[in-house]
Amino acid sequence: MREALVRAAEVTDFVELRLDCLSPEELAGIDELGALCEELELSVILTLRPAGQGGTSELDLSTRSSAWMSWPQSPNVWRDMELDLARRRLESFSKEELAHLICSYHDFAGTAKDVEHAYDRLALVPAHVLKLAVPAYDVTDCLPLFKVLDKAQADQREMIAIAMGPEGLATRILGPSRGAFLTFASLDHDSATAEGQITVAELKNVYRIDQLNRETQITGLIGLPISHSISPEMHNAAMETAGVNGVYIPFPVRDLESFLRLMVHPKTREIDWNIRGLSVTAPYKSVVMNYLDWIEPTAVELGAVNTIVVEGNQLHGYNTDILGFVQGLVATFGELGNAKCAVIGAGGAARAVVWGLKQTGAKITVFGRDEKQTKTLAQQLEVDSRSLTGAKFNEFDLVINATNLGTVGEFESQTPATAEQLAGARLACDLVYNPQETLFLREARAVGCETLGGLPMLVRQAAQQFKLWTGRDASEQIMRQAADAALTGSVG
- pLDDT tens, position by position, for the chain (492 residues)? 788 888 888 898 889 988 888 777 777 667 677 777 778 788 899 888 877 777 776 777 777 777 777 776 778 889 999 998 888 888 888 888 899 999 999 887 776 678 999 999 999 999 999 999 999 999 999 999 999 999 999 999 999 999 999 999 999 999 999 999 999 999 888 777 777 789 999 999 999 999 999 999 999 999 998 888 999 999 999 999 999 999 999 999 999 999 999 999 999 999 999 999 999 998 999 999 999 999 999 999 988 999 999 999 999 999 999 888 898 899 899 999 989 999 999 988 899 999 999 999 999 999 999 999 999 999 999 999 999 999 999 999 999 999 999 998 889 999 999 999 999 999 999 999 999 999 999 999 999 999 999 999 999 999 999 999 999 999 999 999 999 999 987 544
* Cis-peptide, bond into residue 144, ω within 30° of zero: no
Q: Which of 285, 358, 392, 467 is catalytic?
A: 285
- Pure H helices in 136-277: 142-154, 169-174, 200-201, 231-242, 256-259
* DSSP-derived 3-state class of residue 448: coil
CA distances to 115, 138, 249, 488 from 252, rounded to whole Å, are: 21, 7, 10, 23
How many CA atoms are closer than 13 Å to the CA of 483, on its beta-carbon side?
25
- The gap from C-alpha 317 to its chain's centroid, in whole angstroms, comes to 21
* DSSP-derived 3-state class of residue 9: helix
- The domain locations on the chain are 2-198, 218-319+459-487, 322-453
- To the question of domain 2-198 being in CATH 3.30.565.10, the answer is no
Q: Any catalytic annotation for residue 372?
A: no
- Nearest-CA neighbor of 48 among 10, 91, 86, 90? 86
pLDDT at residue 112, rounded to an integer: 67
Phi and psi (nearest 5°) for 103? -95, 120
pLDDT at residue 92, rounded to an integer: 83
- Nearest-CA neighbor of 448 among 479, 419, 477? 419
Cα separation of 227 and 209, whole Å?
Answer: 19
Beta bridge partners of 199: 186
- In this structure, the number of other CB atoms found within 10 A of the CB of residue 488 comes to 9
**CA angle at 38 for the pair 33 and 47, rounded to the nearest 5°:** 40
Phi and psi (nearest 5°) for 135? -75, 150
CA distances to 75, 258, 338, 384 from 360, rounded to whole Å, are: 69, 39, 8, 16
Cα separation of 179 and 156, whole Å?
Answer: 10
- Nearest-CA neighbor of 160 among 80, 270, 53, 52? 80
- Nearest-CA neighbor of 355 among 372, 331, 380, 373? 380
> Which contiguous run of DSSP H or E holds residue 105?
strand 101-106
- In this structure, the number of other CB atoms found within 10 A of the CB of residue 94 comes to 7
CATH code of the domain occupying 322-453 = 3.40.50.720
* DSSP-derived 3-state class of residue 298: helix
- To the question of domain 218-319+459-487 being in CATH 3.90.76.10, the answer is no
Cα separation of 313 and 311, whole Å?
Answer: 6
Domains 2-198 and 218-319+459-487 share a fold: no
- The gap from C-alpha 244 to its chain's centroid, in whole angstroms, comes to 19
> Hey, what amino acid is at 385?
S
